[in-house]
Amino acid sequence: MGLITQTAQLYYGTGTLPYGGYQFISLVDVINNFRVAYVGEDKIISKISRADIKFHAMRGLQELSFDTFKSCKSLEIEVPPSLKMTLPQDYVNYIKLTWSDASGIEHVIYPASKTSNPTSVIQDALGNYTFDGSGNLLTQPVTIGSTTLGNFNSQSTTTDSDDLDWDDVMGTKYGIDPQYAQSNGSFYIDDCLGFIHFSSNIAGKTVILKYISDSLGTDEEMKVHKMAEEAMYKHIAHSILNTRANVDRNVVATFKKERSAAIRNAKIRLSNIKLEEITQILRGKSKWIKH
Amino acid sequence: MIPIDNVYQQVLALANKEQRGYITPQEFNLLAARAQMSIFEQYFYDQNQADRNLKNSTEYSNPDEMLDEKISVFKKVGLISTSAGVGTLPPLLYRLGMVYRTNTEIELEQLTEEEMLYVRKSPLVKPSAIFPAYYRMNHTQIRLYPNIGGISCNYIKKPTRPEWAYVVVNEKALYNATISVSFELHPSDESELVYKILSLAGIVIAKPGLGTYGDQQITSQITQEKQ
């Protein structure tokens, strides 16, 4: 009955990474378990194709990857002179970008929301648009990029304390915008071309990208943490019942609630809140804050 | 298995009792095959009906399990020979059951040709080595996706054609057990088999009364079984 299939000697002795696989269950096992427990005579789903279960299971894995599972994807590079980093193959969205210093401490890099990489139109001396022989508009090759992006890359830092805009209004306004009050540098993600562009003060630094994927990139990734296993079953069941004809809407509504509850439970469990750690943080509640 | 000579003797006895004529071995063999197939085919429809009815948990009288026991005589496991993504089904196959990879026991999902077209284009449900699929090309071949080998299947085999074989001694047909082929049906179906053959014999030897008698007996038996 036990779920461990290999001996302790084999597990500890072979040195095959990653260890700790027991905390996960593979998507194939989730699909097989679902079929055994939920599909069949006198069960909530009498008959269904495996392709349907697989579809909803994979969609569930995607959805839970975005906001429930722990993300352990990260990539470290040294920023090249081009000041850009290619988005990872399985990139869906970033969690944060940091650069690490000589002590290995990470400094968060913030996004530059007020820049972009627009398509740059080639104009003649009079400012008129230019066209090729087929009448198509001539634009700068994507490898060159736009003037806006070039200017962004060439800036040294984004810090409010030295912001010229603020110097202009000195004496008429006070205070700084906290989102710019840092000198770690900034980045801009060009989703169209799949690059992350950095400001020039990060050149040569070690940059770490922490990101989320949808857990469907490779077969090895298709696994679910056991704390979210029930959420997966409930998600699949609800999705199947919700897309079927002639299913009592009360049943669908019940499973919708069960799914939400199971996902909420999974989120709480996976947020890894430990009493001792919280206590330690709260011990700082009486600390004097100097102004 | 139901011994064919038992059935033939019962058919002859009942036919003679009604003074309705003699059924030759050739006629009997024809009718026997037909009756066996008819009862055999009915198993699947009865099981379908039993599936929809309320079950009971008794050990020997659950209709679903009783039918499964009858069908189990014909259940087989066979290898599917594959070449270039096309699998050839076992020769005596009557109904195809689960198709699976022999070494890993991963089931291949059966799809229609049309479904396969769309499923193959969907990144999420595209057939893979872990989730393979197939569709029936014709009655002897299946198309496998992806192109994999080492495939087995569960299937129901076609019942062997029964034959009451004989040797002629003193101008009389004498039963030859050595080369005869008995019915493969479950022994509980013996009386239904006899009545079915009688019913068919009534048509063959133009004795409507015999056919009516057989039909009545079958109806009575079914009513008793399914009430």
pLDDT digits (tens, 9 = 90+) for A3-57: 888 888 888 887 777 888 899 999 999 999 999 999 988 899 999 998 999 999 9
Bridge partners (DSSP) of residue B135 are: B143
| DSSP β-bridge partners for residue B154 | B77
To the nearest 10°, the Cα dihedral for A186, A188, A189, A193? -140
Angle at B198 between CA B196 and CA B203, to 5 degrees: 105
Q: Are residues B149 and B178 in the same domain?
A: no
Q: Which residue of A has its CA nearest to B129?
A: A219
Q: How many domains in chain B?
A: 2
How far apart CA A225 and CA A232 sit, in angstroms, is 10
Q: Same structural domain for residues B142 and B164?
A: no
Task: Give me the torsion for CA of A182, A185, A191, A195, rounded to 10°.
Answer: -170
Name the helix (H) or strand (E) containing B11.
Answer: helix B4-17
CB contact under 8 A, A51 and B133: yes
How far is residue A79 CA from its own chain's centroid? 21
DSSP A274: -
For chain B, 227 residues long, give each residue's pLDDT as a single digit of tens: 889 988 988 888 887 765 666 788 888 899 999 999 999 999 998 888 887 777 777 777 788 888 889 999 999 999 999 999 999 999 999 999 999 999 988 899 999 999 999 999 999 999 998 889 999 999 999 999 999 989 999 999 999 999 999 998 888 888 999 999 999 999 988 988 988 888 888 776 666 777 777 777 778 777 776 66
Q: For chain A, give every domain's residue range.
A: 19-69+218-269, 73-212
On whether both B118 and B129 belong to a single domain, the answer is: yes
Q: Which of B157, B176, B194 is the last residue of a domain?
A: B157
Query: How high does pLDDT run on average in chain A?
Result: 87
**Closest approach of B107 to chain A, Cα-based (Å):** 10
Query: Interface pTM (ipTM) of the complex?
Result: 0.71
Strands B172-175 and B166-169: antiparallel
The last residue of a domain, from among B104, B132, B157: B157
Q: Which chain B residues are closer than 8 Å to A55 by Cβ? A: 122, 124-125
What is the number of alpha carbons within 13 Å of residue A130 lying toward its C-beta? 12
Q: Which two tokens stand for residue A14?
A: 């072979």
Q: What is the pLDDT of residue A291?
A: 62
Whole-angstrom distance, CA of residue B53 vs CA of residue A42 = 11
- B125 & B187 share domain: no
* Surface of A (7-66) touching B: CB under 8 A: 28, 41, 49-51, 54-55, 58-59
Chain B's closest residue to A49, CA to CA, is B109
Q: Are A232 and A60 in contact (CB under 8 A)?
A: yes
Whether A1 shows a pLDDT value over 80: the answer reads no
Helix axes B63-72, B25-52, angle to 10 degrees: 140
Token pair of B46 as six digits: 């009865």
> Looking at residue B200, what is its pLDDT?
84
Residues B151 and B212 in one domain: no
Rounded to the nearest angstrom, the minimum Cα separation between A58 and chain B is 7
CB pairs under 8 A between A and B: 26
My answer on whether B125 and B30 are in the same domain is no
Same structural domain for residues B150 and B186? Answer: no
Is B176 in the same domain as B207?
A: yes
Give the residue numbers spanning the domain of B97.
75-157
- What residues of chain B, 110 to 139, have a C-beta less than 8 Å from chain A? 111, 115, 119, 122, 124-125, 130-131, 133
Where is the domain boundary, B132, B157, B182? Answer: B157
- My answer on whether B149 and B213 are in the same domain is no
CB contact under 8 A, B133 and A58: no
Same structural domain, B66 and B177 = yes
Angle at alpha carbon of residue A117, lines to A205 and A153, rounded to 5° = 30
Mutate to test the interface with B, among A26, A31, A34, A50 (most CBs of B within 10 A): A50
Distance of CA A228 to the CA centre of its chain: 18
pLDDT tens per residue across span B160-188: 999 999 998 888 888 999 999 999 999 98
| Residues B18 and B126 grouped into a single domain | no
For residue A48, the chain B residue with the least C-alpha distance is B109
Name chain A contacts of B51, Cβ cutoff 8 Å.
Answer: 41
Cβ atoms B134, B108 nearer than 8 A: yes
Flag if B109 and A51 touch (Cβ within 8 Å): yes
Of A41, A49, A50, the CB nearest to B51: A41
Whether B36 and B215 have beta carbons less than 8 Å apart is answered as no
Dihedral Cα A55, A60, A62, A67, nearest 10 deg? 170
